[in-house]
Amino acid sequence: MFKHILVPLDGSRLAEVVLPAAGYLARVLGAQVTLVHIIEQGAPASVHGERHLTRAEEAEGYLEEAARRAFSPDLPVRRHVHTEAMENIARGIVEHQAELAPDLILMCTHGRSGLRDLLFGRIAQQVVASGHTPVLLMRPQRPNPREPFLCRTLLAPTDGKPTHERGLEMAFDLARATNARVELLAVVPTMDKLAGSHAASGRFMPGATRVVLEVAQEQLESYLGHQADRGQARGVAVSASVLRGDPASVIVETAARVDADIIVLGTHGKAGAEAFWAHSVTAGVLAKTTRPLLLVPVLPARHEGRKGRSVREKG
Beta-bridge mates of residue 107: 137
CA-derived radius of gyration, the chain: 20
Residue 230 · residue 127 · CB < 8 Å:
no
**β-strands 135-138, 104-108: how paired?**
parallel
- DSSP string computed for 184-221: EEEEEPPGGG--HHHHHHHHH-HHHHHHHHHHHHHHHH
In terms of residues, how long is the chain?
315
The Cα 216–Cα 97 span in angstroms is 38
Return the CATH class of domain 4-132+302-314: alpha beta
Longest dimension (CA), the chain: 67
Domain ranges of the chain: 4-132+302-314, 153-297
Tell me the CATH architecture of domain 153-297: 3-Layer(aba) Sandwich (3.40)
Residue-wise pLDDT tens for the chain (315 aa)?
899 999 998 888 878 889 999 999 999 999 999 999 887 776 666 655 566 777 888 889 999 999 999 999 898 899 988 877 676 666 778 777 778 889 999 988 764 444 334 444 466 666 766 667 899 988 876 656 567 899 999 999 998 888 778 899 999 999 999 999 999 999 988 766 556 445 545 454 566 667 778 888 899 999 999 999 999 999 999 999 999 999 999 999 999 999 999 999 987 644 433 433 344 788 788 888 889 999 888 764 444 344 444 444 555
Same fold? 4-132+302-314, 153-297: yes
Residue 136 · residue 31 · CB < 8 Å:
no
Residue 61 CB-density burial (10 A; 0-12 exposed, 13-18 middle, 19+ buried): middle
Torsion angle defined by CA atoms of residues 231, 233, 236 and 239, in that order, rounded to the nearest 10 degrees = 60
